[in-house]
Chains A and B, each alone.
Chain A
Amino acid sequence: MRPRFFALATAAAVLAGASLPASRAVAQDSIYVPLFTYRTGPYAGSGIPVANGMHDYLAMLNERDGGINGVKLNVEECETGYDTKKGVECYESVKGKHPAVINPYSTGITLELIPRAAVDKIPILSMAYGLSASADGNIFPWIFNPPLTYWDGASVFVRYVASKEGGMDKLKGKKLGLLHLDAPYGKEPIPVLQDMAKKYGFQLLLYPVPGKEMQNQGSLWLNVRRDRPDYIYIQGWGAMNPTAVKEAAKVGFPMDHLMGVWWSGGDDDARPAGPGGTGYLSLDFNGVGTDYPVIQDILKYVVDKGKSQVDSKSRVGENLYNRGVFNAMLIAEAIRNAQQLTGKKVVVGEDVRRGFESLNITEARLKEMGAPNFAPPVHLTCADHNGHHAVFVVRWDGTKWVKISDWIEPIKEEVLPLIEQTAKEYAEKNTGWPKRTEPCDKSS
């Protein structure tokens, strides 16, 4: 009885192991676009609007145009819960289905996937998050993080402060605080801020928020009260943001001296603070509201037909929703570009990588897409996978975000050398890091 049972079990296990890959061969008449999203867990507050935006734009393309150049997009969400373990599991489950591109939507998951991308030949789009150094296309041919890195963002913050104070030379002696999540994501802007602190003579104060204390920031704000920083830059995510804004309002920190990175600029981040949160600033690179033809199309083709997961129509056009839409635009444009480059209708990861590398979304093209002035024109090259594009500042007026500045260029001379250096270090530390062998396409 027993040995037979084990023989059977062995046979079954071997069979199961052998048959799994076979069952995954999918008919390829559509382009497979997996979206790693999180609608559950502590970070769902930031994750849900982004997920909705990405999903709805791609769904709109399917409804309105029948996909991209006549090829339907097969959009599939995989729930990660912002958990690295589940993210890796998602990656393993989608990688056999020839994904066009992967959106990890978590810096932690991105870091795990960066080394795998080149091996599995799947490009990774970590839009304005992930590893800043991966902007270097010569070392990271498969990773893309347009339109700008956290380092660019931090440099814009410094530039904005300087413009308020009346010039770069006025920064001397000022105190700039960084309130950040105590995790790799939150610590990302530190090196560039330190470099700039040395160069421009301001003092950098760090206020780390441990992940467990996201909603319990009392002592940090005591520190703030002691140090009296002139400006604070927030690099937070999830429940940390609304708590920070609320605490700042509580202790009477001037709201117009508090600026969040683009991920700290969700509507749900500012709203809980009530009237006290009015005036809170955030960096941003996508337009807010529904006054764009593309958002109107999403409303018409997706939301009104009940094909979206948004819980009320009023949430369409929120900042993070539109962020998701912009992310999906980049995916779609890269696919379109890949189709043009290869002449194939159904493109897979390798083609889409080329599509990204010669991506050039001009202002005219943005207008064509129904998104005039919605986002910065994005131009990528083989060497530069980021673009280091400009951002603007938005202000919370109590009910919605309002654009209050022009496009501000990052301080590239600070950021670019740092990127080159850290990318090189990354490759050196990882013995056997592959040299770039992928050929370079001319920009379209």
Chain B
Amino acid sequence: MLYREVGQFKTSYTSDQAIFPILQDRLGIVAIVIAAYLIGLTGGDFLLNAVLIPFLIFSLAAIGLNLLTGYTGLLSLGTGAFMGVGAYACYKLTTYFPNVNILLWVVVSGFFASIVGALFGLPSLRIKGFYLAVATLAAQFFLEWCFIRIPWLFNYNESGAIEVPQREIFGIIVTGPRASAQTRYLVVLTIVAALTWLASNLVHGRIGRMWMAVRDMDIAAELMGIRLLPTKLLAFAVSSYVCGVAGALLVFLWYGGAESTVFDINQSFQILFMVIIGGLGSIIGSYFGAAVIYMMPIVLRAVPGWFGLPLQPATVEHLTFMVVGALIIVFLIAEPHGLARLWQIAKQKLRVWPFPY
């Protein structure tokens, strides 16, 4: 009843092209953002540290991959490595210039990832589909090898891992073990929200339309005057930028230290799952996908405990694997276009409720 656009007139092109044309949507977004900040102030350590912070970071990475795979139609399996580039770049930058605001470095480190991403995106002009996916694996494995083999990247630490030094902004500890969960959550939330806003504007604008034209059929797009190479490379660069920032956040604001295995092939696959389950070509879908893929196992692991079932943790893990696998298939059968599509259907139903049409 309340979700109705009656009486909301669009009197200019600008208002017609707005990302959220309906007033209720705008209110909803504001409510969600306020709620998200409120949780940050009141939430417990476990909720913030083990659930929400990683959820937000993975959502960001999923958005990054979605720009490439969902919007431009280029399948990539190198997400984990691009995240790694961001993380290692941030580490090098902050150890060289310890006095510069760490958040600046987090944001800048993405550019290094985008350079590397564009470099490995070069073959995309010739190679397509699954062939391209396997070609991006070359990036994944080569970069992973670099993280192990080039000691300069981890400052010649004997342990071969990077440890996050403590950094403060305005006297508040932001990174390192003594940063409180609340602070880290709020920082992550702010960065993720800002980049989401940026990505959303990007895909709704000219660039986004170019990407989608390339996705739908690249030859047709070329005939229409879209230059393929710059467009595809831009998609790789922007996507890797977002993933790189997500990687830097992952290490600096969640793990607090990392070895190369954090950015392995499984990480890439996990992000890809999020994108596909959430919905290809949908920003909000990336959030849904991250929620399902990341939180579902956590919830599933807790289920036997709620009912007091005397299951061994290993058994729970096996069951979790089976249930996650089965659910992925069920989701795909129920809605191959991902959760974002379900969300759209629900919205449409709400619009006309209580009438069927």
Chain A residues close to B by CB (< 8 Å)? 1-4, 6-7, 9-10, 13-14, 16-18, 20-21, 24, 37, 39-40, 77-79, 81, 84-85, 88-89, 92-93, 95-96, 108, 111-112, 114-116, 118-119, 131-133, 182-184, 187-188, 191, 210-212, 309, 422, 425-426, 429-434
Given contacts A17-B44, A81-B317, contact A211 B166 (CB under 8 A): no
B138 at the A/B interface (Cβ < 8 Å)? no
Contact A96 B166, beta carbon cutoff 8 Å: no
Contact B43 A3, beta carbon cutoff 8 Å: no
User: Taking the nearest CB of chain A, how far is it from the CB of B278, in angstroms?
Assistant: 19
**Cα distance A226–B13 when bound, in Å?**
73
For the complex of A and B, the 8 pairs showing the least CB-CB separation, nearest first, are: A432-B166, A17-B43, A39-B314, A21-B44, A92-B50, A6-B31, A115-B177, A10-B35
Which residues does chain B contribute within 8 Å of A79, judged by CB atoms?
313-314, 316-317
- What string of 1s and 0s marks CB contacts (under 8 Å) between B39-81 and chain A? 1001111111110001000000000000000000000000000
Contact A3 B24, beta carbon cutoff 8 Å: yes
Which residues does chain A contribute within 8 Å of B314, judged by CB atoms?
37, 39-40, 77, 79, 309
The 8 Å CB contact of B318, one of A40, A84, A184, is A40
Given contacts A9-B35, A133-B158, A183-B260, contact A78 B163 (CB under 8 A): no
User: Taking the nearest CB of chain A, how far is it from the CB of B263, in angstroms?
Assistant: 11
The 8 Å CB contact of A429, one of B39, B47, B157, B264, is B157
Which residues does chain B contribute within 8 Å of A431, judged by CB atoms?
98, 165-167
Given contacts A20-B44, A79-B313, contact A183 B28 (CB under 8 A): no
Which residues does chain A contribute within 8 Å of B35, judged by CB atoms?
6, 9-10, 13-14
Which residues does chain A contribute within 8 Å of B316, judged by CB atoms?
79
Given contacts A115-B177, A183-B261, contact A96 B24 (CB under 8 A): no
B153 at the A/B interface (Cβ < 8 Å)? no
Contact A183 B158, beta carbon cutoff 8 Å: no
User: Taking the nearest CB of chain A, how far is it from the CB of B260, in angstroms?
Assistant: 7
In the complex, besides A6-B28, A18-B42, A77-B313, 7 extra interface pairs with C-beta distance below 8 angstroms are A2-B2, A6-B27, A81-B317, A92-B45, A92-B50, A119-B178, A309-B312
Which residues does chain B contribute within 8 Å of A116, judged by CB atoms?
177, 256
Which residues does chain B contribute within 8 Å of A89, judged by CB atoms?
50, 298
Which residues does chain A contribute within 8 Å of B160, judged by CB atoms?
183-184, 187
The 8 Å CB contact of A17, one of B47, B161, B177, is B47
Contact B255 A84, beta carbon cutoff 8 Å: yes
User: Taking the nearest CB of chain A, how far is it from the CB of B133, in angstroms?
Assistant: 17
B145 at the A/B interface (Cβ < 8 Å)? yes
User: B residues 1-42 with Cβ under 8 Å of A?
Assistant: 1-3, 24, 27-28, 31-32, 34-35, 38-39, 42
Which residues does chain B contribute within 8 Å of A182, judged by CB atoms?
148
User: Taking the nearest CB of chain A, how far is it from the CB of B270, in angstroms?
Assistant: 9
Contact A115 B317, beta carbon cutoff 8 Å: no
Contact B264 A93, beta carbon cutoff 8 Å: no
User: B residues 113-155 with Cβ under 8 Å of A?
Assistant: 141, 145, 148, 155
**Cα distance A40–B159 when bound, in Å?**
26
**Cα distance A112–B321 when bound, in Å?**
25
User: Taking the nearest CB of chain B, how far is it from the CB of A111, in angstroms?
Assistant: 5
**Cα distance A9–B38 when bound, in Å?**
12
- What string of 1s and 0s marks CB contacts (under 8 Å) between B235-275 and chain A? 00000000000000000001111111110110000000000
User: Taking the nearest CB of chain A, how far is it from the CB of B188, in angstroms?
Assistant: 15
B86 at the A/B interface (Cβ < 8 Å)? no
Contact B38 A14, beta carbon cutoff 8 Å: yes
Contact A96 B45, beta carbon cutoff 8 Å: yes
Query: How many interface residues does B have (CB within 8 Å)?
Result: 63
User: Taking the nearest CB of chain B, how far is it from the CB of A214, in angstroms?
Assistant: 13
User: Taking the nearest CB of chain B, how far is it from the CB of A335, in angstroms?
Assistant: 22
Chain B residues close to A by CB (< 8 Å)? 1-3, 24, 27-28, 31-32, 34-35, 38-39, 42-50, 54, 95, 98, 141, 145, 148, 155, 157-161, 163-167, 173, 176-178, 254-262, 264-265, 298, 312-314, 316-318, 321, 350, 353
Contact B350 A183, beta carbon cutoff 8 Å: no
Contact B148 A3, beta carbon cutoff 8 Å: no
**Cα distance A2–B32 when bound, in Å?**
12
**Cα distance A96–B2 when bound, in Å?**
43
Contact A108 B176, beta carbon cutoff 8 Å: no
Across the two chains, which residue of chain B brings its CB closest to A186?
A: B160
Using a Cβ cutoff of 8 Å, how many contacts connect chains A and B? 173
Contact A77 B312, beta carbon cutoff 8 Å: yes
**Cα distance A207–B264 when bound, in Å?**
21
Contact A111 B3, beta carbon cutoff 8 Å: no
Across the two chains, which residue of chain A brings its CB closest to B294?
A: A85
Contact A426 B163, beta carbon cutoff 8 Å: yes
Which residues does chain A contribute within 8 Å of B255, judged by CB atoms?
84, 88, 112
Contact A422 B158, beta carbon cutoff 8 Å: yes
**Cα distance A187–B259 when bound, in Å?**
12
**Cα distance A14–B49 when bound, in Å?**
16
Across the two chains, which residue of chain B brings its CB closest to A187?
A: B160
Contact B313 A78, beta carbon cutoff 8 Å: yes
The 8 Å CB contact of A2, one of B27, B42, B145, is B27
**Cα distance A96–B181 when bound, in Å?**
14
Of the candidates B1, B28, B254, B313, the one having the most CB atoms from chain A within 10 angstroms of its own CB is B313
Across the two chains, which residue of chain B brings its CB closest to A51?
A: B314
User: Taking the nearest CB of chain B, how far is it from the CB of A419, in angstroms?
Assistant: 10
Contact A112 B2, beta carbon cutoff 8 Å: no
Contact B176 A6, beta carbon cutoff 8 Å: no
Which residues does chain B contribute within 8 Å of A309, judged by CB atoms?
312, 314
User: Taking the nearest CB of chain A, how far is it from the CB of B258, in angstroms?
Assistant: 8
22 example contacts (A-B, Cβ-Cβ < 8 A) are as follows A1-B3, A2-B2, A2-B3, A3-B27, A10-B38, A13-B38, A13-B39, A21-B46, A37-B314, A39-B317, A84-B255, A85-B262, A88-B50, A88-B254, A111-B163, A112-B257, A112-B258, A183-B148, A184-B159, A188-B158, A425-B157, A433-B166
Which residues does chain B contribute within 8 Å of A184, judged by CB atoms?
159-161, 259-260
Across the two chains, which residue of chain B brings its CB closest to A211?
A: B261
Given contacts A10-B38, A211-B261, contact A92 B46 (CB under 8 A): yes
Given contacts A92-B45, A431-B165, contact A115 B31 (CB under 8 A): no
User: Taking the nearest CB of chain A, how far is it from the CB of B204, in angstroms?
Assistant: 22
User: Taking the nearest CB of chain B, how far is it from the CB of A84, in angstroms?
Assistant: 6
The 8 Å CB contact of B178, one of A40, A96, A432, is A432
Of the candidates B35, B39, B260, B350, the one having the most CB atoms from chain A within 10 angstroms of its own CB is B35
**Cα distance A92–B185 when bound, in Å?**
15
**Cα distance A327–B157 when bound, in Å?**
28
**Cα distance A37–B350 when bound, in Å?**
47
